[in-house]
Structure 1
Amino acid sequence: MLDVNGWELIMLAVVGILVLGPERLPEYAGKLAAMVRQVRNLATNARSQLKDQMGPEFEDVDWRQFDPRQYDPRRIVREALMDDPAPDEAADEPDKPQSGVMAPVPQPFHDPAKPTPWDADAT
C-alpha cells in the first residue's frame, strides 16, 4: 500500500525519535494507531453500507473496471485509432477511404448577411 521497506521504516522511526523525543513518541504512536483504526473502520462501514444498499447486485460488480490506474490515455487512443470499423459501418459508407486516413469534415457555412444563430438553452 505505502510501499515502505524495512530500512525506510527504521529510518522513519529514528527520525521520529529525534524529532519528537523519547518522552512524546509513545503518545504520538498511540494517536497514529487510533487514527489508522478509525480510517479502517470508516472504510469497512462504507463498504458494508454500500453492500446493504445495493443488495445482491453488490457481488456482481466488477470493481477492477473502476480502478483509475487501468486507464492509460495513450493506450485508449492507440486502440481507437487501430480498430477497424465494423463490417456494417464500412458497408454503409462506400465512398469513405479505407486506408485509415480520415476525410476532412466539411465545416458548416455561415452567411455573414444572416443574423448569428441564437440558442436560448445554451446561454
Structure 2
Amino acid sequence: MFNDIGALELVTIVVLGILIFGPDKLPKVVQDVSGVIRKIRAFSDSAKQDIRSELGPEFKDFEFEDLNPKTFIRKQLAENEDLQDIRSSFDLRKELNEVTDAVNSRETEAAPDLLKKPAAPAAERRTWSDADAT
C-alpha cells in the first residue's frame, strides 16, 4: 500500500504529525489511523470473498487485480498461443536493421548525384530594350 513512499516523505509526515497533533496525542492518532486501515482491509477482504462465493466455483481463482485494463491485456497477450507464435516469428530488431540498411544504401547511391556541381546555365543574350514594348 505504501510501497512508493520514500524516507524523506515518511520523515515529512512524522514531522507534520508532531507539529499538528503534538507529541502527546500522536501515538493515539497513529493507533486510530492504523485501526481504521485494518477495518477497511477487513471489509474489502470480506467483500471480495462474498463476491467470489456468489460467482460460484468457476471463478474461484478470479483475482480483482485482473480487472485493471493493463493487467487484463498483459494476461491475455501472455496466454494467447496464436499471439505468442506471431511474436516469436517476428523479430523487430531484424526488421529495423533491414530498413536501416535499405535507407543507408539508397543514401550512398544518391550521394554522388548530390555532390556533383550543377551545370552552368547557358549564357543568355540580353537586350537593352524590351522587345514587346517596341
TM-score (norm 1): 0.49
Higher helix share: 2
Structure exhibiting the larger radius of gyration computed from Cα positions: 2
